[in-house]
């Protein structure tokens, strides 16, 4: 896989980007983590968690364009609910910069975070969950190699409407079979 993105640690300068994207009307309908407006205080709390690494069950990275010397925030990808006992975690991903959506960055970010989870953390399975009306995510995750694990019917509530939550996963063996000759170059 030819990579055009990199992953880096969060920086204090990322606050504005963290605050802006959850309130983007093009992205907000696909979020499962909030039904209320995302405040600057919430963004600062999230950033502080990343800067001071206070959550041992999660790791998040900033997605940036390798051609950008400033490594500007273009999105985020991470693993949450990391359980070293069971060897599982769940992916959280968003390409927040509209100019970078639909260009394959999500596939690259999935590759990098799965490679990190399987190689660095020794995970055996990575899960991904999303709201049922996020058709683009569904297509992207299937194209990457994620397999269906099930559906939680009417689990999510947005603007008074109940939606299903889709569950998918990828094992370390599936990842190795799909990407064994792929290196992050």
Would you say how long the chain is, in residues? 185
More confident residue, 167 or 95: 167
Tell me the pLDDT tens digit for each residue of 82-110: 999 999 999 999 888 888 888 889 999 99
Output the CATH code of domain 5-179.
3.40.630.30
What span, in angstroms and rounded, lies between the C-alpha atoms of 75 and 97?
6
The two structure tokens encoding residue 97: 């910069």
Whole-number average pLDDT of the chain: 89
Which residues on adjacent β-strands are paired with residue 125? 88, 171
Please, which pLDDT band fits residue 32 given cuts at 50, 70 and 90? low
């Amino acid at each position: 896989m030819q990579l055009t993105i990199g992953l880096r640690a969060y920086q204090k300068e990322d606050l504005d980007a963290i605050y802006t994207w959850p309130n983007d009307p093009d992205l907000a309908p696909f979020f499962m983590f909030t039904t209320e407006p995302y405040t600057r205080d919430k963004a600062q709390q999230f950033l502080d968690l990343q800067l001071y690494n206070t959550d041992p069950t999660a790791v998040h990275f900033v997605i940036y364009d390798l051609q950008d010397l400033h490594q500007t925030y273009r999105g985020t990808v991470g693993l949450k609910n990391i359980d070293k006992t069971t060897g599982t975690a769940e992916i959280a991903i968003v390409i927040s910069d509209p100019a970078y959506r639909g260009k394959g960055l999500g596939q690259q970010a999935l590759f990098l975070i799965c490679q990190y989870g399987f190689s660095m953390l020794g995970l055996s399975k990575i899960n991904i969950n999303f709201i049922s009306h996020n058709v683009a995510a569904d297509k992207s995750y299937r194209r990457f190699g994620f397999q269906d694990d099930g559906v939680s019917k009417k689990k999510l509530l947005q603007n008074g409407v109940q939606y299903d939550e889709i569950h998918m996963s990828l094992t370390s063996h599936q990842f190795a079979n799909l990407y064994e000759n792929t290196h992050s170059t």
